[in-house]
Each structure stands twice: as C-alpha cells, then as structure tokens.
Copies of this chain bind each other. A is one copy, B any other.
Amino acid sequence: MVIVMEETATEEQISGVIDKLVRLGFDIHRSTGVRHTVLGAVGEHDIDWRDIELLEGVKEVLRITAPYKLASKSFKADGTKIKIKDVVIGGREVVVMAGPCTVESRDQVMAIAEIVSRSGAKVLRGGAFKPRTSPYSFQGLGEEGLKYLRQAADRHDLLVVSEVMEPSQIPLFIRYVDILQIGARNMQNFNLLREVGRINKPVLLKRGPAATIEETLLAAEYIMSGGNHEVILCERGIRTFEPYLRNTFDISAIPVFKKLSHLPVAADPSHATGRRDKVAPVAQAAVAAGADALLIEVHNDPDNALCDGAQSLLPEQFEQLMHRLRLIAEAVDREVAPGVEEAVR
C-alpha cells in the first residue's frame, strides 16, 4: 500500500498516518518529494484501505498487492489444464459445451445430446433448476433433469455441466454432473463459492454482469482458497449503456484474464447476446481472441422451447458454426474437435 499525502499535509498529520500504520503491523518507508510525501506500507495485514484514505492529510491510497494470489499468474506461470475423463480444458483444444437452456424432457435432452455430439461438442449443458424472473414460469425439472442430462451424456460420451443454485444442492450435483456451474447472478454469493471450494469437481464460474475482471478473479480466489483449484472463468457479457443486445460481450476480457491468471477461460455468446443471429459472430470472435471453451445453447425446437429459445441455435446453425470454429481455431494454433461428418472424411 502506498499512501500519498496532500501537498499541504502537516508533519503532525504525516506522523499520525505513520503511527496508525505501524500499530497495524506495517513497516513504513517514507519518501519526501518536492510536492508530496509518500509512504510505502509493507506488510500483508488485511485492512480496509478506505480507513487510511480518510485520515487527515491523506490525498490518496494506492493499493499494490492484488488481493488474489492462488488465481494469479505469478502464483502459477503455466496455464492450468483441467482434465476430466478424456477432455482437457485449457489445453490446445477449444472445448465446446452445448445444449438446451433448460432440460424439458428426457426425449428432448437425448435428441439434443445426439445433435451436439455429432457436431463435435464435448460437454452437454442444460439447466435443471431454473431461477425464473416470473414466478409463473417453468422452474426446471430438478433432480429428474440432472438424471436425464447424465443419461444423455453417457450415451454420447459427453461430459455434463449444469448450474448449481445453492449449497444444499451440491451433493445432488456431485452425483450427476462433471462440472458445476456458478451463474452470473451468484458470482458473489460467497456461501455458495465457499461450498464449491470444498469439493473436488471443476467449477465453471460466470462473470457477473456488473463485475470487473478483478472481482471475477477474487471470486475464483474464494473458491480456490477452499482447496478446489479447478476453476474455469467465463465471460458472458457485462451491463453497459448500449441497449440493442442483452449485454455487451467484453471480448478483451479473454486476453486480460489469460494475462492475469493461469485459469482457463470460457465464453458464453448465447447469454451475452440473447439473440440467435448474433451468437455465431461472437463465438467466432471469442475463439479468435483466445478462449479455451465455449458455452452455446442449442435446441432442436427453439420455437417451443420453455426457456430462452430466442438465443438457441438450430441444429444446422450449430453445425455450421462448429465448422467455422474449427477453421478459426486452426488460425490461432488451436483446434476444435471434429464432428461426425468431418471425422469420417
């Protein structure tokens, strides 16, 4: 922490600040400049920097140590590779996770699992517990939905990712899914973060729509501090003044996350844009910018989907997109798994 004193700060005020910091356990380096006196406070004591900022004579407080450690690149220089069965997230392959917004029936999940698997997806996504903005909307199939996901995934050799809503659901999720998703609205639900930090299943952590990159890394840190180091960060759009689409996908968050952290980075163009016809360009952009994984909503009958049909790709759109993603991945020295057709060739 660096404390910059006002130009007009008195010697008494400076001593006051130094005394306070020393009492808090810091070592102090004082540097007297032409305009400002600057105090460097060395130590790792957990204090509220605003308390220092409010002391008399203080102009501003500059915080040095980024408060995340386990998630930072300096903790671990090499990128984390998360291996689940034969899928590696964070390696050369860009892993595609696809499926419906919500699990509606066994048949639906079976059909979509086949479609996305044939096109090269490695992970089946789908919601079983749906927190809906209207109390009258479909609230998900619950455990039944998780079962269907598991069955469909197993039949097509896919992994399963699904969103866990509260701590009490974790034991259930552990039984059925391979990756637990923390939704954007829960990114700072610290009870939930703490609990998923105690299990040993990978966690996909979505950035909140009003969360900075740093706050997202702090949320990852929260999970990791519990012992679970397998966290996948996920950019899914932030809230800005631009109203045309649901959120503004922050494309540069991908390279920034990769510079600051060793954790793999996923992108969710479906939720960011909220419109089927904008999913492909943003998915392509995410791969071009270095994403390690993608989450894409696909539905075999989006017109009758119980949730977010408007942002779900049709099967043939998904297949076309996967084809393009393969070419773009190659252009950036990565790869996307081949679909059935491609594999045969």
The residues of B that contact A85 with a CB separation of less than 8 Å are none
| Residues of A within 8 A of B (CB-CB), count | 103
A166 to B165 alpha-carbon distance, docked (Å): 11
CB pair A50–B311 under 8 Å, yes or no, is yes
CB pair A255–B239 under 8 Å, yes or no, is no
- A225 adjacent to chain B (CB < 8 Å): yes
A302 to B239 alpha-carbon distance, docked (Å): 34
- A10 adjacent to chain B (CB < 8 Å): no
CB pair B213–A210 under 8 Å, yes or no, is no
Contact string against B for A residues 36-56, beta-carbon threshold 8 Å, 1 for contact and 0 otherwise? 101010101010101101100
- A324 adjacent to chain B (CB < 8 Å): yes
A252 to B189 alpha-carbon distance, docked (Å): 28
Contact of A238 among B240, B243, B290, B311 (CB under 8 A): B240
Closest residue of B by beta carbon distance from A282:
B252
* Surface stretch bound by B, among A1-9, A87-95, A151-159, A171-179: A1-9
A106 to B238 alpha-carbon distance, docked (Å): 42
The residues of B that contact A12 with a CB separation of less than 8 Å are none
CB pair A190–B131 under 8 Å, yes or no, is yes
Contact string against B for A residues 62-92, beta-carbon threshold 8 Å, 1 for contact and 0 otherwise? 1011110000001001000000000000000
Contact of A135 among B74, B77, B226, B251 (CB under 8 A): B226
CB pair B194–A189 under 8 Å, yes or no, is no
The residues of B that contact A222 with a CB separation of less than 8 Å are 133-135
| Min CB–CB distance A333 → chain B (angstroms) | 9
Contact of A36 among B64, B133, B214, B331 (CB under 8 A): B64
Q: Given A8-B74, A281-B288, A309-B48, are A242 and B213 neighbors across the interface (CB < 8 Å)?
A: yes
CB pair B8–A77 under 8 Å, yes or no, is yes
Contact string against B for A residues 276-291, beta-carbon threshold 8 Å, 1 for contact and 0 otherwise? 1110011011111110
- A200 adjacent to chain B (CB < 8 Å): no
The residues of B that contact A281 with a CB separation of less than 8 Å are 251-252, 254-255, 288-290
A311 to B324 alpha-carbon distance, docked (Å): 30
| Min CB–CB distance A131 → chain B (angstroms) | 4
| Min CB–CB distance A15 → chain B (angstroms) | 17
The residues of B that contact A208 with a CB separation of less than 8 Å are 210
- A315 adjacent to chain B (CB < 8 Å): no
CB pair A272–B244 under 8 Å, yes or no, is no
- A111 adjacent to chain B (CB < 8 Å): no
CB pair A256–B238 under 8 Å, yes or no, is no
Contact of A212 among B50, B51, B242 (CB under 8 A): B242
- A327 adjacent to chain B (CB < 8 Å): yes
Contact of A284 among B51, B330, B332 (CB under 8 A): B332
Contact of A241 among B240, B255, B282, B311 (CB under 8 A): B240
A292 to B51 alpha-carbon distance, docked (Å): 29
Q: Given A6-B74, A241-B239, are A65 and B40 neighbors across the interface (CB < 8 Å)?
A: no
Q: Which 9 A-B pairs have the closest CB atoms?
A: A210-B210, A327-B331, A50-B310, A285-B285, A288-B288, A62-B62, A284-B288, A251-B251, A281-B289
18 A-B pairs in the complex with CB atoms less than 8 angstroms apart: A2-B38, A8-B74, A35-B65, A38-B64, A51-B309, A53-B310, A54-B275, A54-B310, A132-B190, A135-B197, A210-B241, A213-B244, A241-B241, A249-B251, A251-B282, A282-B289, A284-B331, A327-B330
